[in-house]
Amino acid sequence: MKRKPNLILFGIDSLRADHMSLYGYSRLTTPYIDRYAARGTVFENVFSPSIPTTPGYATMFTGMDCFGTDVVALRHKGGLGSHVTTLAEVLGQEGYATTCVGFSGNPASRGFQKYIDYEGWGSWEKGRSPKAENLNAVTLPELKRLAGEGKPFFLFLRHMDPHSPYLPPRPYERIFYGDDEFDKNNRSLDPVYAFKPFADYFASWFPPGCTDKDYIIAQYDGAVAYMDACIQNLLTAIADLGLEDDTLVVINSDHGETLYDHDCYFDHHGLYDCTLRIPLILVQPGVVPAGRRHGETVLMKDMMPTILEIMGIRTSLRFDGRSLVPLMRGEAFENQAEFYITECTWMRKHGWRTPQWKLIRALEPDFHFKPAVELYDLIRDPEENRNLAEEEKEVVAFLENRMNSWIARREKETGRRNPIYTNLDWHNKGCGPFQSAQQAYDTLHIGSVGAAKALQQELQTQRGQKTL
């Protein structure tokens, strides 16, 4: 009887595809992943339509869209509903040993048999943050244990290096930067320091006196490059343990990052492509085609059905996503050209994306004082800098009709109201929807790295999870 394949899933937090050299970035940020990806299949246009962390990972782990998971908010109340089954639960039922590294306490991580944590944050006061080495320190012994047990396993790794605070160890903090980050004539960080909701948080990890936004962006890129080198350590261990042929390796992200884009400074809110577009790489020698790149539109909900089909695991579950295996085989594959997008991080918005147009509609005023409706021509303006909502009202009406028709259809199919409409206390402030942008600006605040960490992690005892 053929041995069931292992699964190692790198679920990298806040990794935007266009800052990877694998996807054409000018800086060589991912040389080891680039070389490894050549042994498998790369998908070039992958989107995580519902951001941020909790809904992104919920879709990754269930193959369901936000209507299917009923999850849209970072601060999701309660656990995942019993109407969905997670990838860890499916594989556990198939006799797999399942381990989750770095993601205990979040509702999206339900179903693993073992949870291991590591220090994935940092601050200026604590010094440079070796996040990926911290992950390796707990993962390598676990990988060896799983390999030695003689049963198939699922190992999930949540890397945190691209997530703020960006504090890569030396020499990675300067490999992409050679200027003076304290230049008094550089005022590019002035608007960042002036943004009251985040100013205290940035002060907890920016170098004191730093003036140059490009230095902070270089820290993000340096953190990605540092993580890439540490991931190579894990890939070497996989080979040394003789696991390569029997293991499907997947590299993915929950969402991208905004850096200096669209005034959504060094975070992951805003329904712009820098936040929605993510990587997807699949590698298993002799099983996943090598040296292939596909440009079709792929969505996060396609992950789980694809993984299960590659692994030969049958399930009666019905997914909102679809397997990408026919695409990899060169069979007919209908491109999913338009899709619904949502965010509920620091703003509550939704929208509709087509190959040419991006519609974003606010469901309440936001703390950036942005217009209620945004429309971008993605062909002429791929960086989404010119809002055409007032000039192209017919396009706005057309896209809104498409979006509302889709919402009505999904509500009928699931028997639940669109969760973006029902999460009215998404900010956990108890005041319901904000009535003005000024109210949002004055109410929302993140004061430190510790506060940021607390937003993403609830008490593990609430879910009966055990951190080992």
The tens digit of pLDDT for each residue in 356-396 reads 999 999 999 999 999 999 999 999 999 999 999 999 999 99
**Residue 211 backbone zone (phi > 0: left; psi -120 to 50: alpha; other: beta):** alpha
**pLDDT recorded at residue 449:** 65
What are 46's two structure tokens?
A: 């992958």
Is a pLDDT exceeding 80 seen at residue 21? Answer: yes
The Cα–Cα gap between 427 and 417 comes to: 19
Task: Write down the number of H helices and E strands in the chain.
Answer: 15, 13
Fold category of 339-443 in CATH: Arylsulfatase, C-terminal domain (3.30.1120)
Torsion of CA 57, 59, 65, 68, to 10 degrees: -110
The Cα–Cα gap between 348 and 345 comes to: 7
pLDDT in tens, 247-296: 999 999 999 999 999 999 999 999 999 999 999 999 999 999 999 999 99
Range(s) for CATH 3.30.1120.10 in the chain?
Answer: 339-443
- Of the pLDDT bands very low, low, confident and very high (cuts 50, 70, 90), residue 333 is confident
Higher pLDDT, 128 or 59: 59
pTM given for the model: 0.94
* Least confident window among 256-260, 446-450, 452-456: 452-456
Range(s) for CATH 3.40.720.10 in the chain?
Answer: 6-337
Q: Architecture of 6-337 per CATH?
A: 3-Layer(aba) Sandwich (3.40)
The Cα–Cα gap between 324 and 150 comes to: 29
**pLDDT recorded at residue 453:** 67
Is a pLDDT exceeding 90 seen at residue 467? Answer: no
**pLDDT recorded at residue 468:** 31
Asked if residue 212 lies in contact with residue 186, where contact means CB atoms within 8 angstroms, the answer is: yes
The Cα–Cα gap between 430 and 426 comes to: 9
**pLDDT recorded at residue 452:** 66
Q: What angle do CA 19, 373, 436 make, to 5 degrees?
A: 105
**What would the mean pLDDT of 328-353 be, rounded to a whole number?**
94
Residue 405 burial (CB count, 10 A):
10
**pLDDT recorded at residue 464:** 40
* Least confident window among 68-77, 117-126, 220-229: 117-126
